[in-house]
Structure 1
Amino acid sequence: MCQESERRALLQLKQGLMDESNVLASWGSKKDCCEWRGIACNNQTGHVITLNLSYNSSDDYIDAEASLRGEIDPSLLELRYLNYLDLSFNDFGGIMIPKFIGSLTRLKELKLVEANFSGPVPPQLGNLSNLHTLDLEGNDVSFESLEWLSHLSSLRYLNISDIDLSGNRNWPQSFSKLTSVIELQLSYCDLGINLRSLSSINSSASFQVLDLSSNSLNSSIFYWISNVSSSNLVHIGLSYNDLQGPIPDVFTNMASLKFLDLSRNQQKGGIPKFFQSLCSLESLYLERNQFSQNIKDSVKILSCAGSTLKNLDLSRNRFWGSLWLDLKSFTKVKFFSLSQNLLNGSLPESMGQISSLEALDLSWNSLNGVITEAHFLNLPRLQSLDVSHNPTLSINLSSYWNPPFQLEYLNMSFCKVGPAFPRWIQTQRNLTKLRINNAGILDSLPEKFLDQFSGLEDLDLSLNKIHGKLPNFSTSLLMYVNLSSNQFSGALPSFPPTIKYLILSENLLSGPLSSLCAREAPNFRCLDLSVNLISRELPNCWMQFPKLIVLNLGKNKFSGKLPSSLGNLQKLRILRLHGNNFSGELPSFENCTELVAVDLGANKLSGKIPTWIGQNQTWLSVLRLRSNEFNGIIPSSLCSLSSIHLLDLSQNNLSGALPHCISNITASSDESRNYGYDDNGFIQIAWEGEEWKEVEMVWKGVEIEFGKNLVHLRSIDISSNHLVGDIPENITSMLKLNSLNLSRNNLTGKVPEKFGNLTMLESLDLSRNQISGRIPSSFSSLNFLSVLDLSYNHLSGRIPLSTQLQSFNASAYIGNSGLCGPPLTQQCPGDGTTQNPGVTTGTENDNDGLISLGFFISAVLGFVTGFWIICGSLLLKRSWRHAYFRLLDDTRDWVYVKTAVYKAKMQRRLQR
C-alpha cells in the first residue's frame, strides 16, 4: 500500500484541479492510492513513482471535457520518489510551468505536451540531472535561455516542437552542446529567423534523430547537421523549409542514415551521386521540390539501398523519361510514388514483380500503353493503387480476373477504363476509396453494387456515361459520393447517416426530394443535385443538417415557396437554387452569417429584396437575383456588401433611384479574401481537388460561367428594371469595377464627368435609358474597355477621341441623335474640309516623308498579324494584357493621327 503522506499529497493535488468529468473519481474512493487512476507505485516500498494524468493516456477518456483544468499544487513535492510525470493534453489555462517541478530530482520522464502552459520555461528544470525525457511540445512557452538544457546530463529525448524559438538566435550553439541527447525534435519552432551560415559551429552532440521540419531554414542548415555527429545520424527531417538549389555534399559520411525527408522545399538538380553511399536508407521523401533528372539515373543512384529501401516518394517534381526501370534490386519497397512528374512511356511488367509493394502511385504523368493482369502477377500485398490522370493509359483487365491483392484505395480516373464497368473491382472487399471518374465508362453499375463493399467511404464515378438506377446508399458507410455528369435516372434514394458530401449533379434524376427527410445526417457538408429533373416543393427539414456548407439545387423543376427551415443552415456558404420555378417571398437567412455565394436567379420569387441582406453577411461575394419578380426599391443595406464581387439584380421589377451609397459596393473588395475557400482551398474541406460549381453571369453581353476566377472580377448588373433618377456621381470611386450594366431602365441626367476613373472597366452598358448631355472626355482613359453600349439615350456632342471609343461599331452609339464624330458618319459642326494655305497647284509633295498608301496598308496588315500572334499570351496573362494595351494606346493614337493626315491629303488631291 502507498505511503500515507503521499496519499494525502495526492488528495491535496486533486483539490487544486477542476475535474468536470470526474475522471479522478477513484482518488479517495479506495484507501490504497496505488490503485488510483494514473498512479503506479514501487512494489517493494509502496512509494508513488508514476503520475500519469495525461488526457491521452492508455485509459482513454470519453471526450475533450475529460481534460483536467486548474493549478498544480506544491503538494506534488511530497512525491519524492516520483520518476515519471505526465500532464499532457490537459488545459491549465495558460499558467506557467511550476518552478517547483525542478525539485523533483528523481524524475526521469517529464511530459507536458499541449497542456496549455505559457510564459517562460523555468530554468530550474535544469536541476533534473536524472531526466532522460523532456517533452514540452505545443505549449505557448518561451525560453529566456537554452543554456540550462546542457545541464541535463542524462537527457536522451528532447521535444520542444511548436514552441517559438525565434528569439533565441544562439540556438545552433546551444543545441550543439547537448552531448547526451539522441533524439531532438524541433519542428515548427521558427528557427530560420535571421539564420546565418552555420558551417563554423563546433559540435559535441551525438544526435541520432533530428527533426527540423517547418522552420523556414535555408540551405546552410546542411552544414550544421554535418557537424552534429553525422556518422551517428539515422533520421533527418527537413521538410517544409526554404532549402534551395542542389543537395550539397554533406551526406557522404552518413552511412547509417535510414530516414531522410527533404519534401516541400525548393531543391533543384537531381538525386546526387554521393547518395550511392547511403546504403542503409529505408525512407526517402523528396516530394514537392523542383528536382529534374532522368528517372533511370535516379533509380540507379539509389540501387545501393535496394535491399533496405521501404518508402520512396519522388512525387511533384520534374523527373522525366521512360518508366522502363531496373527494379530487381528493390526487394523491400512498400510505398513507391512518382506522381505528378514528366514520365512517359508504358508501364513495365517488371513493376509487378516487387512482391513487397503495398502502395503504388503513378498518377498525373504522361504514361501510355496498356495495363494488363501481367502487371500485377506478384503483388499480393498491394493495398493502394493510383494510376489516375494518365489520359492515354488504357486499363485492360478482364472482368473475370481474380487479382492476387485486396485493395483499400483504387484510383483510375482520367484513364481509358471503359466502355464496360470493370467487374473485377467487386472482388475487392476491403475498398474504402474508389475513384474512376472520367474513364469512358458507358455501362450500368453491377446489381447490388454497394453491397460488396461494407467499408467503402469514398466513391467517385463522375464524368462518365453510366446509366440506370442509383445504387442503394442507405445501408452503406459512405461519406463522400460523386456520381455527377452521368445518366442515372429515377428517384433519389435515401442516403446513409454517415454522408458528408453528395454530388449527383448533371444526371436525369426525377421525382420529389422527399427521401431527404428520411434520416438525419449531422455531418452533411455538401449537397449538389443541380441540373436534373427533380420536381415539386422542397421539404421543410433542413434543420436536420446543421453543418451543411454547400447546397446546390439549381436547374431542376422545383416549385412552390422556399421552406423557412433553410434559414437554420447557419454554416451555409454556397446557396444555389437558380433555374427553377420557386415563387413567393424569400425566407430569412439573417442567421446564415457565413454565406459567400447566393444564386437564386431565374425563378419566380417576388416581394421586396429583404433588408437583412448585407446586415450580417459580411463575407458575401456573389448575390444573383436575376430574372425574378422582385419589386420595390433597392435597399440601402446592400451598400454594406463591401466584399461583393458579383451583384446581379437584373430583369426584375425594381423601381426608385440607385442608392447613393452604391459606391461602397466592391469599392473596398479585397482580392486577398479567400472567396469561400478555407485555408486548404474551399471545398477541400469537402474533398481533394474539387471546387464549388460555377456561377452563371452575363459578361460582355454573353451568359457564361465563372468558377474561382470570380475572385478577380467585380461586376454590377441592374439592367432591365424600372430605375429612375441620375447615376450617382460617387459611382466613379468604384475603382476595381470590371463590368457595369444599367441598361433598359429610365435613368436620366448626365453621365458622371469622372467616369474615366474606372480604369479597370472592361464592359459598360448604359443603353436604352434617358441619359442626356455629352460623353465625358474622361472616357478616353478607359483603355481596357472591350464592350460598350450607349445606344438609345439622349446623348449629344462629339464622341471623345481615344484608342477604344473609335474602335467600337457605330451601333454602340446609335439612337443618340445629337452624337457626332467617328465612328458615326454624322460629322460634328465645324468638321468641314480645310484647304492648307501652303498648298500650290500641281503635284503635292508628301512632306511627312513616311505616309503613303502602301505604308498605310502595310501598317494595318502588320498590326493585325502581330495582334493574332500574341493574343493567346494576352488572354492568358493579365499583366501582359495590361502592358500591351498601354502600348497599344500610343500605337493606335499614332496610326489615327497619321491616317487623318493621309485622308486630308487624299481629299485635297481629289478636290484638285
Structure 2
Amino acid sequence: MLDLHYNVSAFYPSKETLRGEINPSQLELKYLNYFDLSNNNFQGYTIPKFIGSLSKLRQLKLAGAHFHGPLPKELGNVSLLHTLDLSYNYALTVDNLELLSSLASLKYLNLSGLYLSEVENNNLNHLGLRANKLKGPLPDPFTIAVSHSLVFLDLSLNELEGGIPNSFSNLCRLRYLYLSYNKLSDQLQDFVERLSCAADTLTVLDLSYNRFRGPFPDLTRFSSLETIMLPNNSLNGSLPKSLGKLSKVRSLSLAFNQLSGMLPNLAGIASLEKLDLLKNQLNGTLSESLGQLSRLKELDLSSNSFSGVVTEGHFLNLSSLKSLILSHNSLSFNMSSNWIPPFQLKELATTSSKLGPAFPRWLRTQRKLESLDISKASISDSIPYWFWDLSSTLAYMNLSLNRIHGELPNLSSKAYVYPTIDLSSNHLYGSLPPFPPNSTILIFSKNMFSGNMSSLCATRLAPLNHLDLSDNRLSGELPTCWVKFKELFVLNLANNNFSGKIPISLVSLPQIALLHLRNNNFSGELPSFKNLHRELVLLDIGDNRISGRIPEWSGQSLPSLTVLRLRSNELSGGIPTSFCSFPALQVLDLSLNNLSGDLPHCLGNMTAMLSEGRAGGFIDFASVMWRGIELEFRRNLELMRSIDISSNYLSGEIPDNITSLRALHNLNLSRNSLRGSIPVNFGQLNMLESLDLSRNQLSGTILASFSSLNFLSHLDLSHIRLTGRIPLSTQLQSFDASAYEGNHQLCGPPVTKYCPGDPGVTDGHENENMEGDEDVGYVTFGFYVSTAIGFIVGFWGVCGTLVLKSSWRRAYFQFWSHNSQMTKDYFYVTTKVFKARLLRILTSHN
C-alpha cells in the first residue's frame, strides 16, 4: 500500500504537494495493491506507462492530480484493478475507453470532470461521469453495458437531453442515481416506471435542474427512498396523499416547479429532515400535522399562496428545527405572549407574513440566530432593548418595510459577525447611532433620521462595503473620516439635506463604485479626475448646487463609468470633449444647468451607445428622465442608453455623427438654442424610443428617414420652425398634433389632412378647401336637434297664427292670389342656386 495523496482538507501550504515526474523505481514494489496520488500537482506530466506493469494493483486513485495527455493503454493490463479514480484531471484526454473493457474486476470507476463519449463494462457497480461534457440523448447501448451490477450512477452536470431509454429498467441494483443539471425531458411518471426494477434498492433520486414534466407520481413502491431531489423542473398538478407514506424519506426538495393545491398530511414521513417547496403555486392553510415531524431541521414553504393562521400547534414537536422560511405567503402568526418555542433556530424568514402589530416576544428565546428576516411583517412597535443582544452569531438582520418607530440605541458595543442590517422603510427617528463594529452592509434608508453623520467617525467600520442612508432628514456637512472606509463599494446619501463641499476623501476611496449624492444642498465645484476612483461606475450628483465648469475627466481615468448624472445644478461653461472617450458610458444627464457653447462633435464616438449589451460594471439602480418623468431603472438598466442635455444654453448644430449611436433609446436636446437642420441620417437611430428636440431654433424639414423610427413612443418636435410635409409612417401619425405645434408651416397628418399640391387642392385655396371639408363633415347630433326645434317653432309660429286669427288668414291667401307668378319664379331661382352650391360642395368633398 502506498498512500501519497495530498490532504486538501488540512491546512498545508501548497508547496508540500508532490510534483515532477514519477520515478519508474515504483516497479520494484511488485506486491503493491493500493496506490493513491490524489490531489497532488503533476501538471505537465502524463500518467506513467509503467503503472500497467503493477500486476497486483487493486486500487488506483489519481483524482485531481493535474495529469494531462492521453490515458495510457497499458492501464488495461492491470487485470485485478477494481477501483479506478481519474476524476478532475481536466487536461487528461480519454479518446478510447476500449482498454477499460479488459478490466474485468473493475467495480468503481470515477471519470468525473473528464471529456469522453462512451464507456462499456459489464461488471461496474460505481460509475461517475459527472461534468464530462456528454451531449445528446442517453444511448441504450451505454445503459445496457453497465446495467448488470450498477449501484451508483452519476451523470450530473452534462448536456444530456431527451427522454430516458427503456433500458433503465435493467438497473435492478441501483441505489444512487444523480442526473441533475442536464436537459432531460420526459413525463416523470414514465421515468419512474422505467426504474421499477430498482424499487427495493433506490435510495437517492436526484433529477434537479432538468425539464421533467407532469404531476408528481406515486413513489410508495420505492420502499428505500431517502432523498428525492426534483427542484427546477416543470412538474404540475397537486401533491398526492401517498406522499405521506414515504416513511424513510429524509430529504424532499420540489422547489421551483408549478405544483398546486393543498399540502397533504406529511406526519407519516417520520424521518423527514428537510422539506423544500419554495416557489410553487401551493395554496390553502397549513396543517398542524407539520408539527409532528420531530426530526425536521429545514422547512422552506416560501413563495407560494398559503394562507390562514399559524399557531403554536404547527411547531409542537419541531425540536430539531434549525431553518424556518415561510416568506411571501399570506400567513398570520398567532402566538401567546408567553410561548416558548421548542426549537433554536439559525435561520428565520417570514417576509410578507403578519407577525405584528407587536414585536414578537418569542424571538427573545432564539439565541443562536444567524439570519433573521421579518421584513414586511406588519410590525407597528418599537424595537425592544433585548433584541440587540439576541445572538452574537447574527450575520443578517432585515426588519425593513414595517412601521417600526422610536430611536436606536448605541450599537457600537454589539459584537455581531460581520453583519448586514436592513432597517429601511420604517418610522425610525432621532440621530444616527454609532453602528455595530465590523458591519458590512447598513441600509437605514426611508426613515426620519435627522442631524449630522458625526457618529460614523466614532465607529470601527473597516469592512463596511455598502452604506445607504438615503431618504432621511440628515443635514450638515459630510465628515472627513472617509479614508478609513477602504472597503466601501456603495454609498447612497440621496434625498437628504446635506450641504457644503463633497470631500475629496470620499470620491477617491479605493473601492467606491456607486456614489449616489443627488437631491441635497451640496455646493462647490466638481473634483478633478485625479481625485476620482478609477473603478467608479455610477456618479449621481444631480439636484444640488454644484457650480463651476465640468472638469476634463478622461475615459482612461474612468474606464468603468456607466452612469453620469449632473442634472439640475449650476454648472457653466462648455461640455468637455473628453466625455466622448468614456468607453462604458450609457447614461449621460447634464440637463437643467447653465452649459453653453456647441455640442461636442465627437458625440458619435461614445462607444457604449453604439451597440446593445452591458458595457460597465454592477449598478444597483439609477434615476433616468424618461418621457418627462423621473423613473428608477434597476434590472433593465444594462439595456438603457440615454443622453439628456436639455434646458441649457447650447448653440450650434446637432452633430451629424450623433446618428452613429444606434443603441440610443432616449435623446433629449430640448430647450436650448440649437440651430441648423436635423441630421440627414437620423433614421439610423432605429432603437430610439423617446426623442425631444423641442424649443430650439432648428429649421428645415422632417426627413423621410424618420419613418424608420419604429420603436418611437414619445416625440416632441414643437416650436422649432420646421416646414413641409410630415412623412407617412406607422409612428409619426400616431402622435398627438401637440408634438408638432408651433411649426406653422408643417402640414399633413396629424396637423392637417392635406398639404399644398395634393390632388383636389388648388393653389391659394388650400385653407378654404380644408375649412370647407371640415364644415361638411362636422354634423353632430346637436345639429339635428336644433333643426327639429327650429322647424317646430317656425311652423307653428306661422301656421298656428293663421288657424287662430281669421283676419290674418284672409290676408295671407289674398297675397298669394295676387302674387302667385312672382312667387313661383322666386322659388324656382332659389332652388336652382341651392342645388348648384350643394353639387359643388359634394364634388369638393369627394
TM range (shorter): 0.7 to 0.9
Among 202, 217, 226, the residue aligned to 1:282:
226
Q: Which runs of 5+ in 1 are unaligned?
A: 1-48, 683-691, 837-850, 855-903
How far is the alpha carbon of 1:667 from its aligned partner?
6.4
2:237 is matched with which residue?
293
Q: Alpha-carbon deviations, 1:575-619, whole Å to 9, x = none?
A: 322222333222547874544433222223344434444325444
How far is the alpha carbon of 1:444 from its aligned partner?
1.1
Amino acid in the other structure paired with 2:433: P
How far is the alpha carbon of 1:244 from its aligned partner?
1.0
Among 104, 127, 138, the residue aligned to 2:88:
138
1:661 is matched with which residue?
602
How far is the alpha carbon of 1:153 from its aligned partner?
4.7
Q: Does 1:308 align with 2:248?
A: yes
How far is the alpha carbon of 1:817 from its aligned partner?
4.7
Among 573, 587, 597, the residue aligned to 1:646:
587
How far is the alpha carbon of 1:70 from its aligned partner?
4.5
For residues 578 and 136 of structure 2, the distance between their equivalents in structure 1, rounded to whole angstroms, comes to: 46
1:844 is matched with which residue?
none
1:598 is matched with which residue?
539
Q: Does 1:120 align with 2:67?
A: no
Q: Does 1:211 align with 2:154?
A: yes
Q: Does 1:530 align with 2:481?
A: no
Number of residue pairs the alignment of both structures matches = 769
2:648 is matched with which residue?
721
Among 432, 446, 450, the residue aligned to 1:506:
446
Distance 1:50 1:619, change over 3 A: same
Which deviates further from its counterpart, 200-209 or 407-416?
A: 200-209
Which deviates further from its counterpart, 459-468 or 775-784?
A: 775-784
For residues 554 and 101 of structure 1, the distance between their equivalents in structure 2, rounded to whole angstroms, comes to: 68
For the aligned residue pairs, the C-alpha RMSD in angstroms reads 3.5
Q: Does 1:240 align with 2:167?
A: no
1:159 is matched with which residue?
110
Q: Does 1:348 align with 2:287?
A: yes
Amino acid in the other structure paired with 2:670: S
Q: Which runs of 5+ in 2 are unaligned?
A: 764-776, 781-837
Distance 1:476 1:257, change over 3 A: same
CA contact (8 A) 1:546 1:568 kept: no
SS at match of 1:637: helix
For residues 709 and 206 of structure 2, the distance between their equivalents in structure 1, rounded to whole angstroms, comes to: 52
Distance 1:852 1:702, change over 3 A: closer
CA contact (8 A) 2:88 2:111 kept: yes
2:696 is matched with which residue?
769
How far is the alpha carbon of 1:399 from its aligned partner?
2.8
2:328 is matched with which residue?
389
For residues 66 and 404 of structure 2, the distance between their equivalents in structure 1, rounded to whole angstroms, comes to: 53
1:164-563 pair list within 5 angstroms: 164-165=115-116, 168=117, 171=118, 174=119, 176-177=120-121, 179=123, 181-193=124-136, 196=139, 198=141, 201-203=144-146, 205-223=148-166, 225-227=168-170, 230-247=171-188, 248=191, 249-254=193-198, 255-273=200-218, 275-295=219-239, 297=240, 299-300=241-242, 302-304=243-245, 306-323=246-263, 325-390=264-329, 392-470=330-408, 472=411, 474-518=414-458, 521=461, 523-563=463-503
Q: Does 1:634 align with 2:578?
A: no
CA contact (8 A) 2:595 2:649 kept: yes
For residues 63 and 374 of structure 2, the distance between their equivalents in structure 1, rounded to whole angstroms, comes to: 42
Amino acid in the other structure paired with 1:482: D
Distance 1:821 1:259, change over 3 A: closer
For residues 92 and 656 of structure 1, the distance between their equivalents in structure 2, rounded to whole angstroms, comes to: 66
Which deviates further from its counterpart, 790-799 or 235-244?
A: 790-799
Amino acid in the other structure paired with 2:383: L
Distance 1:124 1:459, change over 3 A: farther
How far is the alpha carbon of 1:177 from its aligned partner?
0.5
For residues 750 and 512 of structure 1, the distance between their equivalents in structure 2, rounded to whole angstroms, comes to: 51
2:526 is matched with which residue?
585
For residues 262 and 100 of structure 2, the distance between their equivalents in structure 1, rounded to whole angstroms, comes to: 52
CA contact (8 A) 2:611 2:662 kept: no
Among 742, 757, 763, the residue aligned to 2:669:
742
For residues 78 and 650 of structure 2, the distance between their equivalents in structure 1, rounded to whole angstroms, comes to: 79
How far is the alpha carbon of 1:98 from its aligned partner?
4.2
Distance 1:121 1:322, change over 3 A: same
SS at match of 2:291: helix
TM-score (normalizing by structure 1): 0.77
For residues 220 and 500 of structure 1, the distance between their equivalents in structure 2, rounded to whole angstroms, comes to: 47
For residues 905 and 130 of structure 1, the distance between their equivalents in structure 2, rounded to whole angstroms, comes to: 111
Distance 1:582 1:88, change over 3 A: farther
Q: Alpha-carbon deviations, 1:405-455, whole Å to 9, x = none?
A: 111111111112211111101101111111111111111111031212121
CA contact (8 A) 1:177 1:205 kept: no
Distance 1:820 1:362, change over 3 A: same
Which deviates further from its counterpart, 366-375 or 205-214?
A: 205-214
CA contact (8 A) 1:67 1:91 kept: no
CA contact (8 A) 1:590 1:613 kept: no
Distance 1:490 1:370, change over 3 A: same
Distance 1:628 1:98, change over 3 A: farther
For residues 520 and 207 of structure 1, the distance between their equivalents in structure 2, rounded to whole angstroms, comes to: 58
SS at match of 1:253: helix
How far is the alpha carbon of 1:288 from its aligned partner?
1.1
Amino acid in the other structure paired with 1:421: F
Amino acid in the other structure paired with 1:188: A
How far is the alpha carbon of 1:345 from its aligned partner?
1.0
CA contact (8 A) 1:423 1:446 kept: no
How far is the alpha carbon of 1:566 from its aligned partner?
3.9
CA contact (8 A) 1:219 1:244 kept: yes
Q: Does 1:785 align with 2:707?
A: no
Which deviates further from its counterpart, 468-477 or 89-98?
A: 89-98
CA contact (8 A) 2:203 2:226 kept: yes
Q: Does 1:54 align with 2:6?
A: yes
CA contact (8 A) 1:121 1:142 kept: yes
For residues 839 and 480 of structure 2, the distance between their equivalents in structure 1, rounded to whole angstroms, comes to: 77
* Larger Rg belongs to: 2
For residues 626 and 905 of structure 1, the distance between their equivalents in structure 2, rounded to whole angstroms, comes to: 61
Provide the identity percentage. 47
How far is the alpha carbon of 1:620 from its aligned partner?
3.8
For residues 246 and 155 of structure 1, the distance between their equivalents in structure 2, rounded to whole angstroms, comes to: 34
CA contact (8 A) 2:584 2:615 kept: no
1:148 is matched with which residue?
99
Distance 1:906 1:540, change over 3 A: farther
SS at match of 1:367: strand
For residues 817 and 719 of structure 1, the distance between their equivalents in structure 2, rounded to whole angstroms, comes to: 23
For residues 196 and 905 of structure 1, the distance between their equivalents in structure 2, rounded to whole angstroms, comes to: 84
Among 708, 723, 738, the residue aligned to 1:796:
723
For residues 762 and 727 of structure 1, the distance between their equivalents in structure 2, rounded to whole angstroms, comes to: 19
Q: Alpha-carbon deviations, 1:353-400, whole Å to 9, x = none?
A: 12222211111111111011111112111111111100x221111232
CA contact (8 A) 1:525 1:548 kept: yes
Amino acid in the other structure paired with 1:234: R
CA contact (8 A) 1:667 1:733 kept: no
SS at match of 2:278: coil
Distance 1:905 1:231, change over 3 A: farther
For residues 742 and 407 of structure 1, the distance between their equivalents in structure 2, rounded to whole angstroms, comes to: 57
How far is the alpha carbon of 1:320 from its aligned partner?
1.2
SS at match of 1:291: strand
